[in-house]
């Protein structure tokens, strides 16, 4: 986060994409790459939002369907889906989105907290909202998504 912040205190760069009809964004520095629709190997018994595993040049990433995660309905036109790959603490996740938008520069002044009316299921993944021209851009909290994938109950080490 620091890298982006200190660049110009006022401006933030976001990679944007659509899930359903909503526009979302992630800080550019958190995104490793954007790929097409890779072959996903399903993981039986996993929660529905885990689409499965993806082979990213020898590394295994977990594909997370954002529409399922946000408790929206299942996506129908899967063919056009894209993946946004992010990395945290050695874990790779591949966020499956409907389509990719531009990389935008946003003014921090236009940032606002997520309105309370947004459903709780979605709100916990959203840091806040940027008021863009004609559209609202929700900033994804990628850390909570990672947390979602590492339940604390399993946070075990050696005894």
Structure token pair of residue 93: 């996740």
Nearer Cβ to other proteins (53/140)? 53
DSSP for 9-24, please give it. Answer: TTEEEEEEEEETTEEE
- Smallest gap from Cβ 71 to other proteins, in A, equals 17
Nearer Cβ to other proteins (134/151)? 151
Under 8 Å between Cβ of 94 and 38: yes
- Smallest gap from Cβ 83 to other proteins, in A, equals 15
R_g of the chain computed on alpha carbons: 16
- Smallest gap from Cβ 37 to other proteins, in A, equals 15
Residues in touch with other proteins (CB under 8 A): 39, 41-47, 50, 53-55, 57-60, 62, 91, 93, 148-151, 153-155, 159
Nearer Cβ to other proteins (19/93)? 93
Nearer Cβ to other proteins (39/73)? 39
Residues with Cβ within 8 Å of 139's Cβ and at least 6 positions away in sequence, in order, are 14, 24, 25, 26, 27, 111, 126, 127, 128, 129, 130
């Amino acid at each position: 986060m620091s890298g982006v912040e200190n660049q110009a205190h006022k401006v933030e760069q976001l990679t944007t994409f659509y899930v359903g009809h909503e526009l979302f964004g992630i800080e550019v520095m958190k995104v490793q790459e954007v790929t097409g629709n890779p072959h996903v190997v399903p993981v039986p018994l996993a929660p529905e939002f885990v689409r499965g595993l993806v082979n990213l040049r020898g590394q295994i990433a977990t594909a997370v369907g954002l529409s399922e995660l946000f408790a929206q309905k299942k996506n129908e036109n899967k063919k056009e889906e894209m993946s946004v790959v992010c990395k945290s603490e050695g874990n790779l996740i591949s966020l499956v989105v409907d389509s990719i938008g531009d990389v935008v520069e946003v003014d921090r002044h236009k940032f606002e907290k997520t309105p309370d009316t947004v459903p709780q299921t979605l709100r916990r993944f959203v840091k806040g909202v940027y008021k863009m021209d004609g559209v609202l851009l929700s900033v994804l909290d990628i850390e909570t998504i990672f947390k979602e994938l590492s339940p604390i109950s399993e946070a075990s080490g050696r005894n």
